[in-house]
Amino acid sequence: QPQLQESGPGLVKPSETLSLNCTVSGDYMTTSIHYWGWIRQSPGKGLEWIGSLHYSGSTTDYNPALKSRVTIAADTSKNQFSLKLKSVTAADSAVYYCASQLSGEFDHWGQGILVIVSS
């Protein structure tokens, strides 16, 4: 079973780009049974799906509410996938999780990383 670990800065300035990586254990990133996704959780908005990437890297799906600001990409040579969220505001402060997906359900999660947007 894959293990996932988020990494990146815990503090981002308003209007800048939030960049996070998720490292996946083993060879799971190239298996055909998984998508790879990002979800965030904040007190005000609960759990919010940000977007997902097919294991092949050929397809990405984004939350329509965030689509204009989000990019998810994979680097299979490093067993990583990344999240970039541009033009952040305080409303983007949250715990960010990476997770694997079978169809739509998220079956394995990272521990989460707290990101605060503040100057």
Query: Which residues sit at the interface with other proteins, rule CB under 8 A?
Result: 1, 46-49, 52, 61, 63-64, 97, 99, 102-112
What sign results for the dihedral spanned by CA atoms 98, 103, 104, 109? negative
| Spatial CA neighbour of 20 closest among 119, 110, 91 | 110
Give the span between the Cα atoms of 50 and 105, in whole angstroms. Answer: 14
* Rounded least distance, CB 105 to other proteins, Å: 4
Which residues have C-beta within 8 Å of that of residue 87, sequence separation ≥ 6? 15, 17, 69
**Matching residue, tokens 């169809």:** 103
Closer CB to other proteins, 43 or 118, in the complex:
43
Closer CB to other proteins, 54 or 86, in the complex:
54
Closer CB to other proteins, 19 or 41, in the complex:
41
* Rounded least distance, CB 77 to other proteins, Å: 26
Closer CB to other proteins, 13 or 45, in the complex:
45
* Rounded least distance, CB 29 to other proteins, Å: 19
* Rounded least distance, CB 116 to other proteins, Å: 17
**Matching residue, tokens 């609960």:** 46
Residue 94's identity, in one-letter code, is A
85 and 66 Cβ atoms separated by less than 8 Å:
yes
